[in-house]
Amino acid sequence: MSETVNEEAPSVIAIEIPKAPEVRVRSAAVSSTVAAAHPGVCPACGCDTVLMQGQFQREFSEEMFGGQSMGETLSDECVKSITAIACPVCQIRYVVEPDDVFKLREENMELLMELSRRMGLTVEPGNSKAN
């Protein structure tokens, strides 16, 4: 770590922090039912040491009268929603998607694979040449 002092403003000190080595993390998607069925577990390797990312949400109600706020109440309960699961073992970050979005993603991938197969861009199992 090196420190440099700005000559114009002696009260300001700039500090260079060495960067940590970058770990290449792949990204994938997982349906919300799979993530909810096995909370805190990596969907690929089953490792139970994962980083779960998400957000807390609280419900509220606000009373308006004549365009002005008259009162606001917040719920005591918080709802936790998980948006991603990152596994340090297999180095994959899974984005948790709703089931209908995940199903559309699967269908889109199947259509892309079929299109590439028809265009001769894929190799069939047991073949060493493209079709």
Distance CA 121, CA 36 (A): 37
pLDDT higher at 10 or 105: 105
pLDDT band at 15 (very low <50, low <70, confident <90, very high): low
Distance CA 116, CA 38 (A): 34
Q: For the chain, what are the domain ranges?
A: 22-63+70-96, 98-131
What pLDDT does residue 100 have?
A: 92
Distance CA 60, CA 79 (A): 12
Span 119-131, pLDDT tens digits: 887 655 555 444 4
The pTM is what? 0.57
Span 88-107, pLDDT tens digits: 888 888 889 999 999 998 89
Distance CA 84, CA 40 (A): 11
Span 21-51, pLDDT tens digits: 444 667 888 888 888 888 888 888 888 888 8
